[in-house]
Structure 1
Amino acid sequence: MNAVQDLWYKKSLVAWLLWPLSVLFCLISGVRRSLFRAGIKTSSKPDAFIIVVGNITVGGNGKTPVVLAVVEHFKTQGVLVGVLSRGYGGTMTAHPHLVSPNDEASVVGDEPSLIARRAGVPVVIDPIRARGAAKLANELGCKVIVCDDGLQHYALKRDLELVVMDKRLLGNGHLLPMGPLREKPNRLASADALILNGDVDLTALKQTVNLPQDFGFTLIGNGFVNVRNHELKRVSTDFTGKRVSALAGIGHPQRFFKQLSDMGVDTARCRAFADHHHFQPEDLPDGTVLMTEKDAVKVREFAHEDCWYLPVKASFPTTFYAFLHRHYVNYSKEK
């Protein structure tokens, strides 16, 4: 986390130096959304059920595991589902692009690469979301499209909005760059549900914002997989009492380090990188290295034989899946 981001999650007078830029950001983003509301800027969607999994803050809140859980739900229901992503951090310039599991993360982005490998469904990247959604629906036949991020991309109409939050909530409560907010807190009131990563206390937030219903989830990681050879597996006890290094280039690296610690792994040697960091061979220390799956897709070409990643799965209550089913059924009836 860089110095500016560090100011977002604590009280600091220094953050007020960025207040003029936050005012400018507020004006620009407010005008933009008003133009969509007034119909001056148009939005559209293909003939598909559009679910946006996003947030109103910058930084990792756990969106990707939520996307995977939603996709898996519709797959088990026999519904053809696809994933739409911007492809942030990738170098791909030809859009829309259907991601192959063999595509390099440096080209298509780390999150689309991970999702394409894990989910086994069509994944399309396109910074113009409506165009990417049209490819998924019209060319690939997807009936449900799950958008990985894109809550603020109003050019794409949506049928369901899921806002992911963790215990950091809204940080200092200020808009970018003074704080982590992409939109004002009252934006939460228009979402369909809040998706809470871990133990999240909404008591204070409920006093200022009319919040929608919420569903909690936990991230479950049962074992480690070798980056070079996915057939090799290890459990946390294999690393107990062993000198290991841990690295994470995600939005909230400390969450991963704490998860390792809770599993009994010595986390004395941890290194946090910026989200979407482009790893180089020199970033990987010698010896046993533990990392997230998102980081593993970026280092697989040069990782040494003692590099391991921890796949995680979002565990939801059955009420969340009933909520998804109900909204999809209602959408289908209204068509």
Structure 2
Amino acid sequence: MAFSDRLLAAWYRGHPALTLLRPLELLYRRVAAAKRAAYLDGRRQAYRAPVPVIVVGNITVGGTGKTPMILWLIEHCRARGLKVGVVSRGYGAKPPSLPWRVRPEHSAAQAGDEPLMIVQRCGVPLMIDPDRPRAVQALLGEEALDLILCDDGLQHYRLARDLELVLIDAARGLGNGRCLPAGPLREPAERLRSVDALLYNGASRDPQGGFSFTLRPSALVNLESGQTSPLAHFAPGQRLHALAGIGNPQRFFATLEALHWRPVPHAFPDHAAYSAEQLQFSPPLPLLMTEKDAVKCRAFAAPDWWYLAVDAQPSPAFVAWFDARLERLIAR
């Protein structure tokens, strides 16, 4: 297990050695609080876009289902006649210049795996740049948009936002409740009191003070041919290799087990890069991966490599709440 994986496990399962990191956590908290306060009291100026900006982020390190929720938001807003754009940091991307407009034909190394997945799935205008205000300005310079979704960036206060949606893993919660590096929190838990909505991934019902959403497997897609097949393509009891290089690989493996397949799990670090040689698993079985991993493996895919397409399904209460807020934002 890599050091980062061991640290993640300690944050969520507990480990006495984490007490040694308390002094560093205190320093981190002070820096985070000072940064936020500087924007709240006007000592630092945030860029406000001429169109509404919705930040979709998290307060914890580790996967919370953010990308599927962004895909849902894109399609939901489009269905209401809105022109939507997305800005992203582009974690791990190495584009020729910044800001960089992501196109479907780009490589994951150039564009970043999550931005490329979003563009390939729904063709949305998407700009990457660690400087998110600059990304917004560049995107608006190319497209006439009604709304911008900011992929992550909850702590990027240089970009003013009109709505903050924060995703939380319902099973793991906030871990030990401590900030980095003693825990998984990017900001103190009190920050959640100021956000507009909390969405709990995997919750069976809307919790008090928040909304639930689930990730629903919808289809199997062959990496080599692009063929889409129903989930019944694999019979119950099917053994297969399962590949996940995401923030919470165990969620993916649990999803496959819930579909009554028998996955042989292969967990990789989030945003991992792959080679054909790495993925020659034994015994020979079909290989099933996440859609985010698939964008990095298509160039060398074998005939029996697939990814599982999943769709976010927020609760009806969230949909009603979001539509009401959206109507107010667009009417301004």
Bigger shift: residues 126-135 or 255-264? 126-135
Tell me what 1:258 maps to: 254
What's the offset of the Cα at 1:279? 1.3
Work out whether 1:270 is the aligned partner of 2:274. no
Distance 1:18 1:96 in 2: 36
What's the offset of the Cα at 1:93? 4.8
Tell me what 2:51 maps to: 48
Tell me what 1:144 maps to: 147
- Contact 1:290-1:308 at 8 Å conserved across structures: yes
User: Partner letter of residue 263 of structure 1?
Assistant: L
Q: Deviations over 1:39-78 (max 9, x none)?
A: 2221012111100000110110000011011111111111
Bigger shift: residues 2-11 or 312-321? 312-321
Work out whether 1:317 is the aligned partner of 2:315. yes
Tell me what 1:118 maps to: 121
Tell me what 2:88 maps to: 85
Bigger shift: residues 89-98 or 53-62? 89-98
Distance 1:251 1:333 in 2: 37
Change (3 A) 1:163 1:243: same
Distance 1:114 1:189 in 2: 31
Tell me what 1:162 maps to: 165
User: Partner letter of residue 287 of structure 2?
Assistant: V
- Contact 1:45-1:134 at 8 Å conserved across structures: no
Distance 2:252 2:293 in 1: 12
| SS, match of residue 46 in structure 1 | coil
User: Partner letter of residue 126 of structure 1?
Assistant: D
What's the offset of the Cα at 1:136? 2.4
User: Partner letter of residue 168 of structure 1?
Assistant: R
- Please list, as runs of the form range in 1=range in 2, the aligned pairs for 1:28-43 lying within 5 A after superposition: 28-43=31-46
| SS, match of residue 34 in structure 1 | helix
Tell me what 1:135 maps to: 138
- Please list, as runs of the form range in 1=range in 2, the aligned pairs for 1:135-284 lying within 5 A after superposition: 135-166=138-169, 167-199=171-203, 213-236=209-232, 238-267=234-263, 269-284=264-279
Gaps of 5+ in 1: 207-212
What's the offset of the Cα at 1:201? 8.8
- Contact 2:114-2:292 at 8 Å conserved across structures: yes
Gaps of 5+ in 2: none
Provide the TM-score with structure 2 as the length reference: 0.93
Tell me what 1:291 maps to: 289
Provide the TM-score with structure 1 as the length reference: 0.92
Distance 1:8 1:250 in 2: 17
- Contact 1:69-1:314 at 8 Å conserved across structures: yes
Q: Let me know the Cα RMSD of the aligned residues.
A: 1.8
Change (3 A) 1:109 1:74: same
| SS, match of residue 169 in structure 1 | coil
- Contact 1:85-1:147 at 8 Å conserved across structures: yes
User: Partner letter of residue 254 of structure 1?
Assistant: Q
| SS, match of residue 187 in structure 2 | coil
Aligned length: 325
